[in-house]
Each structure stands twice: as structure tokens, then as C-alpha cells.
Amino acid sequence: MRIGHGYDIHRLTQGEFITLGGVKIPCNFSIIAHSDGDVVIHALCDALLGALALGDIGKHFPDTSDDNKHRDSREFLSVIYGMVKKKGYVLVNADISVIAEAPKLAPHILSMREILSECFDTGLDNISVKATTNERLDAVGQKEGIAVHAVVLIQESKKR
């Protein structure tokens, strides 16, 4: 078994929606990013890569590449999880904490979990998504950004 931790943070600007965990959430701001800015998936990617000492998402999908501009982050996750499986591992579980003052994420958490469980071809009970605020402290607390921590546990596949 191996454990990986990932972290991502992005700035916010005025807009119409954000994408988190593959879910498009209507709100009055958007995430500033080269890709779709899905901080949930970016943190998950870093956690998976970290578990196998394969670098970080920027190494594999640099924000200097036009190929990654406005790209759906689920594509990043698919490639990275493919790398994990090629190394002979599968996801046991993922635990994700989203830190944001707004929008309210509770109505969207189940949808995020469903999408992510499909991405990993695993049961819903293996994907945890939680949301909290930063109690109005720092840039995240002032609604200038959104941050995510993700922890994954992977194990060698029995199919090897």
C-alpha cells in the first residue's frame, strides 16, 4: 500500500460557474487557470502521482502547453490513473477536503463523489468529499481563492 497527498489552490475572479470534481457549479465567480481549473481533480492527480513518486501534475501537464489550455481536468485524471494502474496499483480510497467560503458545496458533494467514483471505477463509499470554510481568514477566507487537500490510498492490484 502507498499513500499520497495532493494540494491545489487557484485564484477566483468574477464569472458564472466553477468546476469542482467534474461538476459545473453555478455561482458568481470562476477559477483562474490554464485548464478548467478543477482544483479537486488537480489535488487528486498530485496525490496519485505522489503516492508513486511520479512528480506532480505540472510535470505531466504543464500550464505552458497550449494542449492543456481549457482542458477538462478529468482527462488529466484519466491519464494519471492509467499510469497508476500500469504500475500495478489501484485506488483503495480518496479523502478530499475543499476549502472555500462560497459557493455552498453541500448540494454538489454527492455529484462530485459519483463522478469521481466513475473515474476510478470504484464504489461511492471509497470517495469522500468534504467542504469547509477558512473562517474568513487569508485569501481563501476573503473569497479570493479556493483550495483543496486530497489524500489517496493505493494498493497493488490483485490482477498483476
pTM of the prediction? Answer: 0.93
Sign of CA dihedral 150, 144, 103, 10: negative
Mean pLDDT, rounded, of the chain: 92
Q: Among residues of the chain, what percentage have pLDDT more than 70? A: 98
Helix (H) or strand (E) holding 119: helix 109-120
- pLDDT tens for 23-66 read 999 999 998 888 888 999 999 999 999 999 999 988 988 777 77
Could you give the angle at the alpha carbon of 128 between the alpha carbons of 122 and 132, nearest 5°? Answer: 160
Q: What is the pLDDT of residue 92?
A: 98
User: What amino acid occupies position 145?
Assistant: G
Spacing of C-alpha 118 from chain mean position: 14
Per-residue model confidence (pLDDT) at position 69 = 74
**Are 140 and 147 within 8 A, CB to CB?**
yes
Is the pLDDT assigned to residue 160 strictly greater than 60?
no
Q: Which CATH superfamily is domain 2-156 in?
A: 2-C-methyl-D-erythritol 2,4-cyclodiphosphate synthase (3.30.1330.50)
- Per-residue pLDDT tens over the stretch 59-99: 988 777 777 676 789 999 999 999 999 999 999 999 999 99
What integer pLDDT is reported at residue 152 of this predicted model? 98
Whether 36 contacts 86, CB under 8 Å: no
% of the chain with per-residue pLDDT over 90: 74
The answer on pLDDT for 128 being more than 90 is yes
